[in-house]
Amino acid sequence: MCQAVDKPGFTLWFTGLSGAGKSTISGIVAESLRSRGHRVEILDGDEVRENLSKGLGFSKEDRDTNIKRIGYVAKLLARNGVIAITAAISPYRETRDLVRSQHQRFVEIFVHCPLEVCIQRDVKGLYRKALAGQIPQFTGVSDPYEEPLNPEVVVNTHLESPAESAAKILNWLTQHHYI
C-alpha cells in the first residue's frame, strides 16, 4: 500500500446529465489518485440521495438542498486533506457557484455528452420513463440543466473513452499542481 501523500485536499466537482459518465470517470480518477497515495472519497449523487438526502424530492429547492449537502461534506473532507470527488448532476449553475465559493480548492469538471447520446445510452432506463411522462422534473427532459460557463476541465464522453477523459483530468491536476 502506498504511503499517504501529504498535500492539501481539494474538491473535484463532476457535473453533467444523467448517463454522461460522471460516476464511471470519477471512479477511474479516484482509483488512479489512490494508487498514487492520495486519500480520496467519492460522493456519488445516487448514494448521497439514499444516505444523506433521503426524503428529498426533485423540486428545484430539494435539488439545491441536496447539492449544498454534498458541497458541505466535500468541503469538510477537503479541509482535512482528502480529495473529495463529487459525481452529481447538479443542474443549476447558481448552486454550483455557491458551493464553489465555499471551497478553497475547487475543480469543476463538466462531463459533456449531448442529450441525444445520453438518451441512447439510457443506462438506468430513466430517459425512457421521463420521455413517457413517468418521471416528472427529469433533468434535460422536463427540467433544465445549466451547463457550466467556465469549468476547469471539460471531458466529451461522446468522443472520448472513459480512460481518455480520466487522463485529461489527471493531466490538468498535474499541470496545475493539485497532484
Query: Quick check: 62 and 78 in contact, CB under 8 A?
Result: no
The reported pLDDT for the residue numbered 152 is 98
Among the listed residues 23, 32, 90, 165, the single catalytic one is 90
- Based on the residue annotation, tell me whether 142 is a catalytic residue of this protein: no
pLDDT at 3 over 70: no
pLDDT digits (tens, 9 = 90+) for 7-61: 789 999 999 999 999 999 999 999 999 999 999 999 998 888 888 888 898 889 9
The dihedral built from the CA positions of residue 76, 79, 82 and 83, taken in this order, carries a sign that is positive
**The sheet that has 83-87: what strands, in order across it?**
40-44, 83-87, 10-15, 106-112, 153-156
| pLDDT per position as a tens digit, 48-101 | 888 888 889 888 999 999 999 999 999 999 999 999 999 999 999 999 999 999
| Domains of the chain listed by start with CATH number | 10-114+146-175 (3.40.50.300)
* DSSP, res 5: P
The pLDDT tens digits for 114-156 are 999 999 999 899 999 999 999 988 999 999 999 999 999 999 9
Q: What DSSP character marks residue 143?
A: B
What does pTM read for this prediction? 0.93
pLDDT at 1 over 60: no
Say how many C-beta atoms besides its own lie within 10 A of residue 106's C-beta: 20
Dihedral pair phi/psi, residue 58, rounded to 5°: -120, 20
Return the DSSP state at 158.
Answer: T
